[in-house]
Amino acid sequence: MSAKIKSFSRVSYLAILITAVALLTGCSNQKTVNFKINSVPKGAHVLYQVVGGDIPCQGQWVYLGNTPVQGVRQFEENQLEGAKKITLKIMHNGYHDQIKEWDGPGFWQEVEEREVIFWTPELIVSEKE
Any idea what the CATH number is for the domain that residue 90 is in?
Answer: 2.60.40
Tell me the three state secondary structure of residue 91. strand
Q: Which of 2-6, 23-27, 43-47, 64-68 has the lowest mean pLDDT?
A: 23-27
Q: Has residue 58 been placed in a domain? A: yes
Q: Has residue 11 been placed in a domain? A: no
**Whole-prediction pTM:** 0.70
Q: Which of 7-11, 29-33, 37-41, 114-118 has the lowest mean pLDDT?
A: 7-11
Residue 3's pLDDT is what? 60
Q: Has residue 3 been placed in a domain? A: no
Q: Has residue 72 been placed in a domain? A: yes
Q: Has residue 6 been placed in a domain? A: no
Residue 2's pLDDT is what? 59
Q: What's the one-letter identity of residue 2?
A: S
Q: Has residue 23 been placed in a domain? A: no
Q: Write the pLDDT tens digit of every residue in 53-104.
A: 777 778 899 999 999 999 888 877 777 777 899 999 999 999 999 999 999 8
Look at the chain and report how many structural domains it folds into: 1
Domain containing 110: what range?
29-119
For 13-79, the DSSP string reads HHHHHHHHHHHHHHS--EEEEEEEE--BSS--EEEEEEESSS-TTTTS-EEEEESSEEEEEEEEHHH
Q: Has residue 7 been placed in a domain? A: no
